[in-house]
Amino acid sequence: MNEILALNDIVCRYDGRLAVDGLSLHVTAGSIACLLGPSGCGKTTVLRAIAGFHPLSAGNIWINGSAVSQPGFTLPPEKRRLGMVFQDHALFPHLDVAGNVGFGLRGITGARRQKLVDEMLEVVGLGGMGGRYPHELSGGQQQRVALARALAPQPDLILLDEPFSNLDVELRERLSGEVREILRQRGATGVLVTHDQHEAFALGDVVGVMREGKLLQWDTPYNLYHEPADRFVADFIGQGVFLRGTLLTPETIETEIGVHRGDRAYDWGRGAPLELLLRPDDIVPDPESTLRAKVAQKAFRGAEILYTLRLPSGGRLLALFPSHADHAIGELVGIRVQADHLVAFPLAAGHSAGAARVAN
């Protein structure tokens, strides 16, 4: 497959302080990659390095087969054939929409330029609005102009830095779906940076979770959720609870709520202390079950209700039941664990056994 972007073991520093620590990733043509992580983990710095705004202390970056960054060499941003969309839109206030969209179309003039601009405005759903000025547009429309401007010169790669974070939740969700469609239609390759996992999942074919300058997992949204490779990723992505347990056989784990068998084998040895990840959808209602837990909290989600359940030990579980399984706070409900594969992490030495922890 055609690789548009390659980062090989890149290291970035600010005044000697490490911000990106030996990160590698590869993006194929026509795909959208997301970097996701908590504030300060280094994702914007990675994007700035890809754009050519930040030099590398080690490693190298390739765009479309050319080395663009390595220690001592940083190809300037304007020579990288990139499109960029940032959260503050950064539209030129003195140019109308057509002027903004056509800004990067150097050397293209007259009727051809007009046609390209009109086409791009149609693509982003702003046909006929070329004569308006940025201050006459809503936040979502401004962001669409920024996207049209970035896409118009047909860049090899488009970089999006938290592009929707200034918009309200509903618009953000709608626009991220639309942007995904627009990028797909154009066959564009994109890298998006966000701290919002819903945005990353809505847009990304592949998502990288970062922490403290390192890439912990580079995978599909499905695998990040169902097969987290790392305890931090399991905690950061989605909701869930970690229950302390022990390994009985490579595939069997015992916790306070029973013995669970999965299709994954762990080689930590019999009796190894561990934490088992239980997602809300791993816990299903079962009136016949002898395992009972008390409803501590409930959050109505329309088709489903998210319950926080308290176990006899004081530990907690999260459970997502269909909305018709309506239970009152304080009620005891029968539950069963229904998980094909068990995601567990060895308990670090020094941890004493204790109550379950609620992630997110």
Ligand X SMILES: Nc1ncnc2c1ncn2[C@@H]1O[C@H](COP(=O)(O)OP(=O)(O)OP(=O)(O)O)[C@@H](O)[C@H]1O
Q: Which is nearer to ligand X, 15 or 267 (CB)?
A: 15
How many Å from the N-terminal Cα to the C-terminal Cα in the chain? 37
Binding flag, residue 211, ligand X (CB under 6 A): no
Phi/psi-derived region of residue 213, left when phi > 0, alpha when psi is between -120 and 50, beta in every other case: left
Count of chain residues binding ligand X (CB under 6 A): 11
What part of residues 85-114 is at the interface with ligand X (CB under 6 A)? none
What part of residues 25-44 is at the interface with ligand X (CB under 6 A)? 37, 39-44
Q: Which is nearer to ligand X, 100 or 176 (CB)?
A: 176
Q: Which is nearer to ligand X, 46 or 120 (CB)?
A: 46
Q: Which is nearer to ligand X, 41 or 309 (CB)?
A: 41
**Nearest distance from C-beta of residue 225 to ligand X, angstroms:** 21
Structure tokens at 348: 């670090």
**Nearest distance from C-beta of residue 171 to ligand X, angstroms:** 20
**Nearest distance from C-beta of residue 193 to ligand X, angstroms:** 6
Phi, psi of 185 (to 5 degrees): -55, -40
Q: Which is nearer to ligand X, 45 or 308 (CB)?
A: 45
**130-138 long-range contacts, CB within 8 A, separation 24+:** 130/96, 130/97, 130/98, 130/101, 131/96, 131/97, 131/98, 132/96, 132/97, 133/93, 133/95, 133/96, 133/97, 134/89, 134/91, 134/92, 134/93, 134/97, 134/100, 135/93, 137/97
Binding flag, residue 83, ligand X (CB under 6 A): no
Indicate which single residue of 27, 32, 36, 45 sits in contact with ligand X (rule: CB under 6 A): 45
Closest-by-Cβ residue to ligand X is 44
| Coil, helix or strand at residue 120 | helix
**Nearest distance from C-beta of residue 189 to ligand X, angstroms:** 21
Handedness of CA 130, 189, 46, 104 (dihedral sign): negative
**Nearest distance from C-beta of residue 25 to ligand X, angstroms:** 15
Structure tokens at 152: 């118009």
**CB–CB of 192/165 below 8 Å?**
no
**Nearest distance from C-beta of residue 231 to ligand X, angstroms:** 20
**CB–CB of 242/277 below 8 Å?**
yes
Binding flag, residue 195, ligand X (CB under 6 A): yes
Residues 276/278/284/289 CA torsion (nearest 10 deg): 30
Binding flag, residue 16, ligand X (CB under 6 A): no
CA distance 346 to 108: 60
Structure tokens at 330: 């304080």
Q: Which is nearer to ligand X, 42 or 221 (CB)?
A: 42
What part of residues 140-169 is at the interface with ligand X (CB under 6 A)? none
Q: Which is nearer to ligand X, 214 or 292 (CB)?
A: 214
**Nearest distance from C-beta of residue 83 to ligand X, angstroms:** 19
Indicate which single residue of 2, 14, 110, 135 sits in contact with ligand X (rule: CB under 6 A): 14
β-pairing, 273-278 with 190-194? unpaired
Q: Which is nearer to ligand X, 89 or 260 (CB)?
A: 89
**Nearest distance from C-beta of residue 27 to ligand X, angstroms:** 18
User: Maximum distance among all alpha carbons in the chain?
Assistant: 77
Q: Which is nearer to ligand X, 193 or 311 (CB)?
A: 193
Residues 39/41/45/46 CA torsion (nearest 10 deg): -120
Binding flag, residue 19, ligand X (CB under 6 A): yes
**Nearest distance from C-beta of residue 316 to ligand X, angstroms:** 29
| Coil, helix or strand at residue 208 | strand
Residues forming the site for ligand X (CB under 6 A): 14, 19, 37, 39-45, 195
